[in-house]
Structure 1
Amino acid sequence: MTHTPPADLLTRANHWREDISFTQNVLGKPFNFTTTWGIFSPEKLDDGSLMLLDYVDFQPNDNSIDLGCGYGVLGMTAARECPNGVHTLIDKDFMAVEYAKRNCQANSLNNVDVHLSNGFNHVADDKTFSLVMSNLPAKVGKEQHYLYLLDAYNRMEQGGRFYVVTINGLRQFMKRAFTEVFGNYKKVKQGKTYTISMAVKE
């Protein structure tokens, strides 16, 4: 006898295939987001990214890159807070990039460049950045984290800032890695779950 999934499960699955839309304030001003299941934190902005944004020193002329952008909140915020700069949003997940593009368009952010890239591997060679931001995932491995830091260092302008949010379990690793690559490290904020760290290209 052939098994058939329950009708209520099929109904719910049809609902899950639909886009998820929500509006959420970021730094006191609303953004409209469209997301989908399979992208990180699809129903609301994740606490780590929101915590990071509270501590970034945005400058009007910053050119930024959102490394592993997901559906776009870090890069979108930079585009809004730094209107004179150009803001690059990259991710290796094609669905994340698709939704980040849609979210930038929906929020009338035109000073952005959103595209697929595995780290910095597919970022134009002539691009440099004064601001790098990343919600670093814990599961990609420390080797990949070092590659992100080394590649960012090579692309950053003098005085450029690199901000990351990580789970607290990576705090000591980030201290060591930032110090090795940049020669400096600052713990900006530590909460119950996340730590904001930064380094400056001197």
Structure 2
Amino acid sequence: MNRLTTSQGEFDLARHPANPRDPLRAWDAADEYLLRRLEGAEGSEPIRPSGTVAVLGDRWGALTTALAAHHPVQITDSYLAREATRSNLLRNGADPGSVRLLSVRDAPPERVDLLLVRVPKSLALLEDQLHRLAPAVHAGTVVVGTGMVKEIHTSTLKLFERIIGPTRTSLAVKKARLIHCTPDPALPRTPSPWPYRYDLPDDTGTVAGRTVTNHAGIFCAERLDIGTRFFLKHLPARTGPDRVVDLGCGNGVVGLAAALANPGAAVTFVDESYQAVASAEATFRDNTGPEAEARFLVGDGMTGIAPASVDLVLCNPPFHSHQAVTDATARTMFHGARTSLRQGGELWVVGNRHLGYHTQLRRIFGNCVTVAGDPKFVVLRAVKR
């Protein structure tokens, strides 16, 4: 937990799930810079929130919590960000019911008077969301974005310019920058170009030639990432009524491969991204018959899966949390997988060789074998004894 001090007040903030040993804060200099700008930082005119305030991409709820008195609408692709916001509102004495918590899959507000944008890592997600919000923006809407300098590129500014209106940036402060955008009602309001679909290459086993649906913001949305491609060549050959989880499913290609290889399997697709789970469901439904059994869960890893109920977990874990490199997410996934697996159940993991997942798996499961490897990736198997 950490304390954010602003002119709006002091706020105790934590990521989700809260972990006192987590060295990563629930806010950064970009969040601070935006909040100071609202109060008239560096001699500028204050921006008084009024009307409908929309906060897009708030990473851990810092902006929404600081502005809770103005009843903002938060729009996020992250289940973890949404739950962090709920917790941070409660932690700071605010009523979570006073804030509208929307996912990027929900219909956006019909009118937005103040739009605050935390620039996401994914340019595609920013493009998609600006398209979705543009009809709600009017000539009087104040639009302010924020991000660290390394997150804001010329392509970022061009998106604001093309979809919303004339755009300029601020000076950098503590390696953070603001984006000021003036809505131009004369700009044509065009639909988002997302989702994007492509056919899988011939060397991907049971899913070769299948069409994959990718909503904006998911990892490697425009092509099959090489780690997944390697994983698809080395998935376990199983038959019978297995309960399988595609953990951190992304567009669902791995879970689809498991379902096609074993029609008796019941596959659950899990991700903390609303866009990812929507992609996985579209991919699965487009490539299987109506009798195919599957579940699609947006959540925090395996927390929504009953203990000792799963036969096989397939996982290509992320090793970034926004811009931070961390193995915390992978460790949480591995622990969750062990809890949810039955005795004799297996966790199969693909990862970059240098990440050393075999060490963590041996510590958590007591065993780990290398199924396949090349100079960049390894496929590992751990069994619950």
Q: TM-score, normalised by structure 1?
A: 0.85
User: Are the equivalent residues in 2 in contact too, given 1:190–1:196 (CA < 8 A)?
Assistant: yes
What is the alpha-carbon distance in structure 2 between the residues aligned to residue 136 and residue 187 of structure 1? 16
How many residue pairs were aligned?
Answer: 194
Residue 91 (structure 1) aligns with: 271
Correspondence for 1:37: 216
Describe the SS at the equivalent of 1:152: helix
Between stretches 143-152 and 111-120, larger displacement belongs to 143-152
User: What percent identity do the matched residue pairs reach?
Assistant: 24
Task: Give the superposition deviation at 1:54.
Answer: 1.4
Other-structure match for 1:71: 251
Structure-1 separation of matches of 2:158 and 2:297: 38
**Over residues 22-62 of structure 1, what are the superposed CA-to-partner deviations in whole Å (9 max), with x where a residue is unaligned?**
11143054211121331111122111112112112121122
Q: What CA deviation, in whole Å up to 9, does each residue of 1:111-136 have, x standing for no partner?
A: 2111211101223x267211111111
Alignment of 1:184 onto 2:362: no
1:88, CA displacement in angstroms?
0.5
Deviations 1:79-123 (A, max 9, x none): 111111200000000011111111111112522111211101223
2:320 is aligned, of 135, 139, 143, to 139
Alpha-carbon RMSD across the aligned residues, in angstroms, is: 2.6
Change (3 A) 1:154 1:22: same
Matched, 1:163 2:348: yes
**What code does the residue aligned with 1:19 have?**
P
Change (3 A) 1:5 1:94: closer
What is the CA–CA distance in structure 1 between the aligned matches of 2:378 and 2:251, rounded to whole Å? Answer: 22
| CA 1:105–1:197: 2 relative to 1, 3 Å | same
Q: Following TM superposition, where does structure 1 have runs of at least 4 consecutive aligned residues deviating by more than 3 angstroms?
A: 8-11
The TM-score with structure 2 as length reference comes to: 0.46
Please state whether the residue corresponding to 1:43 is helix, strand or coil.
coil
State whether structure 2 residue 329 is matched by structure 1 residue 151: no
Give the one of 12, 20, 24 matched to 2:200: 24
8 Å CA contact retained: 2:268, 2:295: yes
Instruction: Tell me, yes or no, if the aligned pair for 1:17 and 1:36 is still in contact at 8 Å.
Output: no
Q: CA deviation at 1:144?
A: 2.8
Kindly name which structure, 1 or 2, has the bigger radius of gyration based on alpha carbons: 2
Structure number with higher relative contact order (C-alpha < 8 Å, ≥ 6 residues apart): 1
What code does the residue aligned with 2:317 have? L
Residues in 1 aligned to 2:231 and 2:267: alpha-carbon distance in whole angstroms:
17
Listed as ranges, the gaps of 5+ residues in structure 2 are: 1-156, 164-186
Which amino acid in the other structure matches residue 137 of structure 1? P
Q: Secondary structure at the match of 2:278?
A: helix
Q: CA deviation at 1:18?
A: 3.2
Amino acid at match of 1:48: G
Q: Corresponding residue for 1:128? A: 309
Give the secondary-structure state (helix, strand or coil) at the position aligned to 2:348.
Answer: strand
